[in-house]
Amino acid sequence: MHRIVIHRAGGYDRLKLEEHPDPLPAAGQVTVEVEAAGVNYADVAVRMGLYSSAQKYVGWPITPGFELAGRVAERGDGASRFEVGQEVFGVTRFGGYASRVAVPERQLFSRPRTLTTQQAAGFPTVFLTAHYALFELTRPGPGYSVLVHSAAGGVGGALTQLAHAAGCRVVGVVGAAHKAEHVRELGADHVVVKHRGELEWREVEAVERSGFDAVFDANGVSTLRQSYRHLRPTGRLVVYGFHSMLPRTGGKPRWGKLVLDWLRTPRFSPLDMTEHNRSVLAFNLSHLFEKAELLQELMGDLVGRLEKGEIRAPRVTAYPMEQVARAHEALESGQTVGKLILIP
């Protein structure tokens, strides 16, 4: 098998394509012959050595990758949900950038015919994240007003679609004008375009003067404080990333900026939250992988929505696995739309 291996933190040159023995499935696992693997911003943080759970669960060397699609190659003891040769997709806690991966079968799902293999590889991480953030943490109702940062990206696009399907009024923020029409097609009622990378909050206020019932923010320090301030009473700020702390070019962390951004990151006071009747919630999808019943429930709902036409798969751009550095560079640039996929 081939896989991408990072032996120590750094830039794009740390992404090494190596040959290794095929993995064997442990009890409760299956091995998947990978036909496509999704690329996520968390993979960038893993490469830079900034993703804490990577060191908690794996350490160096590490193969990044949280999602994949392919066919079951072999079953371990006790694994009985899937037949050998069956088409599946799902999530893995690292290791997805490979031609064959051993995965707990509870983290896999049968690939629906509504998704191509490449679409399936880019679906689970972003849509499970969006579903959990929207329906488990905020529980929206018709007429809710929500603000989605990075609405043209993977999770942002999924949030926009799901919130629209739930009857919410959706305001999407994008980093460039060429992304705006795509976000409107996903269901956003209004799209706010940043100017030279900066969000003009007065443009957001012109669209929604009374504040939002929910704001979904993966930017971090660049928008968190204002996101919180633009909540209406009972509003919820949901945090699931810190993208603006990482560089757009160069591929390496800028430690001075990281330290400054860490110091500038708001520390939300429970006294203030109580006084203004606002909440801040945060989560990391990889810590939910043990919750097999929850994952199955969320994916079941998502597949049902796909089949009813309420949501659609993200736009996919594919790279050969040996061009993984190009894929990371493109993702970090902030200019991509939808999902990036690696093909072993």
Considering the domain architecture, whether residues 163 and 254 belong to the same structural domain is answered as yes
Among 235, 253, 282, the domain-final residue is 282
Considering the domain architecture, whether residues 108 and 178 belong to the same structural domain is answered as no
Distance of alpha carbon 114 from alpha carbon 305, whole angstroms: 11
Considering the domain architecture, whether residues 116 and 36 belong to the same structural domain is answered as yes
Strands (DSSP E) along 76-230, which ranges? 87-91, 100-104, 108-110, 145-148, 169-174, 190-193, 212-217
Considering the domain architecture, whether residues 269 and 146 belong to the same structural domain is answered as yes
Token pair belonging to 104? 């707990």
Token pair belonging to 99? 């031609």
- What's the domain range around 69? 2-123+289-343
pTM (2 decimals)?
A: 0.95
293 in any annotated domain: yes
Read off the pLDDT of residues 159-188 as tens digits, 9 standing for 90 and up.
Answer: 999 999 999 999 999 999 999 999 999 999
Distance of alpha carbon 70 from alpha carbon 32, whole angstroms: 6
Considering the domain architecture, whether residues 178 and 248 belong to the same structural domain is answered as yes
Q: Residue 248 belongs to a domain with what CATH number?
A: 3.40.50.720
DSSP bridge pairs for 212: 231
Considering the domain architecture, whether residues 318 and 259 belong to the same structural domain is answered as no
128 in any annotated domain: no
Considering the domain architecture, whether residues 266 and 196 belong to the same structural domain is answered as yes
133 in any annotated domain: no
Read off the pLDDT of residues 290-313 as tens digits, 9 standing for 90 and up.
Answer: 898 999 999 999 999 999 999 999
Considering the domain architecture, whether residues 274 and 295 belong to the same structural domain is answered as no
- Beta strands at 29-39 and 67-75: parallel, antiparallel or unpaired: antiparallel
Considering the domain architecture, whether residues 147 and 205 belong to the same structural domain is answered as yes
Read off the pLDDT of residues 93-147 as tens digits, 9 standing for 90 and up.
Answer: 999 999 999 999 999 999 999 999 999 999 999 999 999 999 999 999 889 999 9
Q: What is the mean pLDDT of the segment spanning 5-27?
A: 97
Task: Show Cβ contacts of residue 24 under 8 Å, excluding neighbours closer than 6 positions.
Answer: 31, 74, 76, 102
